[in-house]
Structure 1
Amino acid sequence: MLKSTLLLLTLLVSGAASAQKAQPALLAELPAASPPPTTTVTTVAPANGVRYEYQLVRLDNDARIFFAPAWEGRTVLEPDFRSLAREMRPGAAEVLLLNALNALSAEGWELLEIRTSERPVGARQTVETSLTFNDPNRPQYDTKTTYDSELQTRYLLRRALAR
């Protein structure tokens, strides 16, 4: 009786161990080295001996345009929302931004710097299962990692101060 109990226990333990070895890992660990933040700056050479005032224009992720300091009494421009669902027309934010940059240029502002920065804010991993040769005992696992990032572009303008 004791031998049969030991034999049954050994078979159960070895079967559970082999079943654990046969199971593939469904989710691989996310890579430790995520994409690094990047910043790109385009500059114009400074002119020595001239004093300037500066204007910063930034397009937000919510399609709002921010001015620092205020330009024509405004600190924020927002696109016109046409429907009750508050959906904006395609390109509405870009039209506002380019109109503002054109108006600043007409007032004598010179584009000094364009700064574009991108930083990762999260990652998602999904697993898809498909059958290899229609064999349910040999599924194939495909993992896909997607990185989400935040992109921001700022425009720095200047104009010479009257002496």
Structure 2
Amino acid sequence: MKQLLFGLGVLLRNSLVKSDHADLSSFVGSLHPGVIQCSWKIREGTKWLIDSKFNSALFLRIRDISGDGTSASLIIETTTSQNNAEIPLPTDSGRVLLELGYKAEGGGFITLEYIVYDLGVKKIETPKYVDWFQTESSNIHQEMYELGRRSLAFGGSEERMA
């Protein structure tokens, strides 16, 4: 935790010292069928922090935030030396959150930039059967009898009576 606070302190100091606007960050996504093409630029101080403390690992994370109970998500790992990537969409409708960030030591995700996409009304498919169980055939008892009889060398009770 001390290292993280130290790194954030260095970032704050660097941002106060540099008052020019040349060190701005940006995050842009271009929506295409089935994928989002992303490009970004991160601040030099942030890049230094991720390079030194988090092994240059930068992540793109996309999640379904439609609020309907689904939890479709995807994470792609990249590095601070890259400035673009392509990430597939986990769903074709609803709302998705695209984040650029890094993972902290405890495994938490630290978001640097984000974009929310509204892909339209969530398409909910109604199930074919209201009941979760499949419908049984009308002659299920005969089928079970024949399945059970395969392993026996002798016939069923109706053959003994004859």
- TM-score in same-fold range (> 0.5): no
Q: Which structure is higher in strand share?
A: 1
Quickly name the TM-score band, shorter chain normalised: under 0.3
> Is the radius of gyration larger for structure 1 or structure 2?
1
Larger RCO (alpha carbons 8 Å, 6+ apart): 1
TM-score (norm. length: structure 2): 0.22
Question: Larger % of helix: which?
Answer: 2
